[in-house]
Structure 1
Amino acid sequence: MFVRLVISDAMWDRIKPLMSADPVRGRRWANHRRTLEAIAWKYRTCSPWRDLLEELGPFQTAHERLLRWAVDGTWQKIFAAILVSADAAEDIGWTASVDSTVCRAHQHAAGTRKGGEAGRGEPADHALGRSRGGLSTKVHLVADAGARPLAITVTAGQGGDAPAFTAVMAALRVPRTGPGRPRTRPDAVIADHAYSSRAIRSHLRGRHIRAVIPQPVDQVRHRLRRGSRGGRPPGFDAEAYRERNTVERCISRIKQWRGLAMRTDKLAIAYQAALHLAAILIWIRR
């Protein structure tokens, strides 16, 4: 059977040096490239693990490797290394956009024992929430000016955008190629009116990051109603705000993978690992 692959030779040349070496004891790792293709195929098609094509190897290998690399931080390390390379080449647009998207959860994602697994970084609620639309997960992203992901976090679907803002910004961390601390501050942050709060504006101002966030109508009316006590309106660059579409385009790219547009994973760490794999391939494709 013909299998459409997504990792080209040039892409693999960039990923291969970042993969885990063979263990000192025990059996050698299975083919890393084939395993990555298997994981990507599963999430691109939203197929069950047991339906993995024979050409891509045993499904147990791919699933076990996805979780193992999520727990030991391999996915984050590869993603960080790709960002380091892009930053060194001045390929990161540091006018960042922040937004979130709700992904419906399949019934197969439910049923995991509550309480999480602290040792593996699994949240107690497994980043699953129930609202009027049913079970869902919310994916929070920071995208650069080229519509590519810089940071990704997941929360329960019924949660708001503003409470998760500091968490997703804390996930933005690009190490330097030479000496110096990792870069964690973009030049500006563009976000919609859902992020218009005094706490978020103070957080960005304290970190010397320019905020490009419009005020919702109710906040404007409240400020005007208070008169001189309402203070000055926050600064807003309407021209810069036109670039907010970058995060929407980034979300659209990620949701081209059907297994990410609809979550089927019981564990949040598995789902976030697949998000990181998609982000890695988005970067090295360019």
Structure 2
Amino acid sequence: MGRGDLTDGEWGRLMPHLPKNAGKGGRWKCHRMVINGILFRLRTGVPWRDLPTRFGEWKTVHDRHRRWSADGTWEKTLRAVQADADAEGRIDWSVVSVDSTTCRAHKHAAGALRGVPRVPGRRRRPIQHRPDEALGRSRGGFTSKIHLAREGGLRPLAFVITPGQWGDAPRMIEVLDRIRVPRPSGGHPRTRLDHVCADRAYSSCRNRRYLRRRQIKHTIPEPANQRANRQRRGSAGGRPTGFDREVYRRRNEAERAINRLKSFRAVATRYDKRAYVFHGMVTVTAIWLWIHP
């Protein structure tokens, strides 16, 4: 077993939730060796072709990850290991924090102009991307943004990937709606939270109405401009928002969870051209954080 490979305990948590066959009577090669190759690439950020030979053919490792990213296998596995953790009482539902982080896109992910010759004295056309590839321009160049909801144990419950210039507040409801932890005994998965904590970037009437409608307590500071606007409107502005300083001190847990997520180089920097492949990389990282003791 090499450094960073799955231990016997981690493999025991992961193995029951992986596909048993490749469909149409085919059989997969050793899942453990292939997943160790995916983790190696995730940890180091090397090109797929440069994977060590101890993981087998690089194309087998790449195709397995790409296929499972496209058909939702990684998503199903993540929810399965979350369900196991919830059954064992390892999920801290007391405070769920929401935050976001920006990932710089490598030039291999950002692409380049092809078939458009450079004309002297004329500016090049800006690089255009499909709107569903989660690439956007910001001050740092091409970037993607990960909007994350984490539980008290610094492990991700759900996340959404968007272009880097997209705002935080409009994505909060989408992230919270993706929290669905199945119950091993059956029934509807758990989606309701006890308490939500976020910084002032997530303060909006729409988000607060959503949390009140679902009867979820929340601690979100009110920016000065929103407070002044509410006071200017008088009684029509509504009541002041509640704020629990003791709960807000735990907001740093969201930043610590992001630091754990971005300790993997293939997440801190986006090397994947397709958004669904990068989404799979982040999902594999989340799975490792749940099975890692």
- With the length of structure 1 as denominator, give the TM-score of the two structures: 0.92
RMSD of the TM alignment (CA)? 1.7
Tell me the alpha carbon deviations over residues 205-237 of structure 1, each in whole angstroms, 9 at most, x when there is no partner.
111111110001211222233334433211111
Report if the CA contact (8 A) 2:70-2:277 is conserved. no
Letter in 1 for 2:81: I
% identity of equivalent residues: 47
Q: Does the aligned pair in 1 maintain the 2:83–2:182 contact within 8 Å?
A: yes
AA matched with 2:40:
W
C-alpha distance in 2 between matches for 1:184 and 1:112: 41
Distance 1:98 1:23 in 2: 37
SS in 2 for 1:103: strand
- Look up the SS of the partner of 1:172 in the other structure: coil
Match of 2:127 in 1: none
Moved more, 225-234 or 139-148: 225-234
Aligned to 2:151: 144
Q: Give the match for residue 107 of structure 1.
A: 107
1:152 match: secondary structure: strand
**Equivalent position SS for 1:125:** helix
- The runs of 5 or more residues in structure 1 that have no matched partner are 114-122
Structure 1 CA distance for aligned equivalents of residues 262 and 41 of structure 2: 14
User: In the alignment, which residue of structure 2 is the partner of 1:87?
Assistant: 86
Q: Which residue of 2 aligns with 1:29?
A: 28
Of 272, 278, 282, 2:285 maps to 278
| Aligned counterparts of 2:228 and 2:5: Cα–Cα separation in 1 | 51
Aligned residue for 1:98, secondary structure, equals: strand
In 2, the alpha carbon distance for the partners of 1:23 and 1:219 equals 54
Work out the CA distance in 2 between the residues paired with 1:229 and 1:21: 60
In structure 1, C-alpha distance between the alignment counterparts of 2:268 and 2:50, rounded to whole Å: 19
Aligned equivalent of 1:133:
140
Aligned pairs for 1:65-214 (under 5 A) are 65-94=64-93, 95-111=95-111, 124-214=131-221
Hey, what's the Cα distance between the residues in 2 that align with 1:189 and 1:284?
24
Question: Where does residue 44 of structure 1 map in the other structure?
Answer: 43
Letter in 1 for 2:98: V
Contact 1:112 1:266 (C-alpha < 8 Å) held by counterparts: no
Measured in 2, the distance between the counterparts of 1:175 and 1:24 equals 25
* Distance in structure 1 (CA, Å) of the matches to 2:259 and 2:193: 22
Which runs of no fewer than 5 residues in structure 2 stay unpaired? 114-129
Q: For 2:153 and 2:52, how far apart are their aligned partners in 1?
A: 34
Partner Cα distance (1:251, 1:266) in 2? 22
Q: For 1:32 and 1:112, locate their aligned partners in 2 and report how far apart those are by CA, in whole Å.
A: 35
Match of 1:57 in 2: 56
**1: distance between equivalents of 2:151 and 2:225?**
30
Scaled by the length of structure 2, what TM-score is found? 0.90
Supply the distance in 2 between the matched residues of 1:259 and 1:148 (Cα, whole angstroms). 18
Q: 1:239-275, CA deviations, whole angstroms, 9 ceiling, x for partnerless residues?
A: 1111111111110001000110000101111111111
In the TM superposition, what whole-angstrom CA distance separates every residue of 1:21-67 from its partner, at most 9, and x where no partner exists?
12364653121111111111111101111111111111111111111
Letter in 2 for 1:271: F
Give, in angstroms, the shift of residue 164 of structure 1.
Answer: 1.1
